[in-house]
Amino acid sequence: MSRHPRAAALLIGAAFVVATTAVQARDQSDLARAYGIIASKTFVDLTHSFGPGTPVWSGFGQAKFSPAADPKTHEPYTIPKDGFRTTYYEMVGQYGTHIDPPAHFAPDGIAMDQIPLEQMILPLIVLDNTPYQTKDPNHAFSVGDLKTWEKQHGQVPKGSFVALRTDMYKDWDTNPERFKRTPFPAWAIETIKFLYEQRGVTATGHESMDTDTTDKMDSETYILQRGHYQIEVMANLDKVPATGAVLVVTWPKVKDGLGFPARAFAILP
């Protein structure tokens, strides 16, 4: 070997290239297999479409949509005239299905552009509040309810996204005034604390516009001031199993953003 150092170096280099290529091929193969599995699954949209008439908290007011116009001529862009058209949106960030990042309630909390990408794809757990709503239409999902659920489905896994099903979403388009009612079925603050402190979940979501019905928004304050995000005004949770699905959720990367409409969907097992 010492007589032919150049040949030895070439052999070592070639071996390194072959090994690197094999690792890359394996990784690409893993991703290809993962995509093949995902592509074969059923997807469920967990997001409402929204418009100027969408239900929203009265303190924010309705959105306004209008044709975007040339700032020089103030004439709206049109396809016949300009070859394209676009829309000017005027609305609060917390509109429709949306994300609340920690900075929404916490002065030192991270904004929506700082939430790690790893937290935008998570195991999805769906807790069903609807059986309790037969006797109490505004039932707050309790720790006892959660423990009953865990006896049937197993312990809520650490790092998951936990959504509360109430079927409120069905009023979104058909009965918006009922959707905005108070009180409404929601989380109990004790359950929120239990999920984050005892189960170590990453984030939570629900169908209503608020996390609970307390005067000081105790559950939302707890979540956001402890560095977690939540997704509000979710839809179609009745079409997702209690366990086994994966949540994918994303939103625009607004610098220092305090909230924005989000797109969430579930990949079913």
Q: What is the 3-state secondary structure (H, E, C) of the chain?
A: CCCCHHHHHHHHHHHHHHHHHHHHHHHHHHHHHHHHHHHCCCEEECCCCCCCCCCCCCCCCCCEEEECECCCCCCECCHHHHCCCCEEEECCCCCCCEEECHHHCCCCCCCHHHCCHHHHEEEEEEEECHHHHCCCCCCEECHHHHHHHHHHHCCCCCCCEEEEECCHHHHHHHCHHHHCCCCCCEECHHHHHHHHHCCCCCEEEECCCCCCCCCCCHHHHHHHHCCCCEEECCCCHHHCCCCCEEEEEECCCCCCCCCEECEEEEECC
145 within a domain of the structure (yes/no)? yes
In a domain? residue 163? yes
Handedness of CA 186, 136, 123, 237 (dihedral sign): negative
The residue range of the domain holding 74 is 62-91
Would 24 be classed as within a structural domain? yes
- Residue 47 is assigned to a structural domain of this protein: no
Q: Are residues 82 and 17 in the same domain?
A: no
Q: Fill in the amino acid letter for 140.
A: A
The Cα-based distances of 204 to 52, 159, 163, 178, 195 in angstroms read: 27, 11, 6, 23, 9
In this structure, the answer to whether residues 85 and 182 fall within a common structural domain is no
At 4 the pLDDT is 57
Same domain as 81, residue 24:
no
Q: In this structure, are 249 and 207 located in the same domain? A: yes
Answer yes or no: is 56 within a domain: no
- Mean pLDDT, consecutive 10-residue stretches, the chain (269 aa), reads 51 52 67 96 98 95 97 97 98 98 98 98 98 98 98 98 98 96 97 98 98 95 98 98 98 98 98
Residue 213 counted as domain residue: yes
pLDDT of residue 21: 53
CA–CA distances in Å: residue 169 to residues 46, 104, 114, 175: 10, 23, 29, 10
d(CA 230, CA 224) in angstroms, rounded, equals: 8
Residue 28: the pLDDT is: 74
Q: Which residue has the tokens 């699905």?
A: 245
Residue 45 lies in a domain: no
Q: Are residues 11 and 143 in the same domain?
A: no
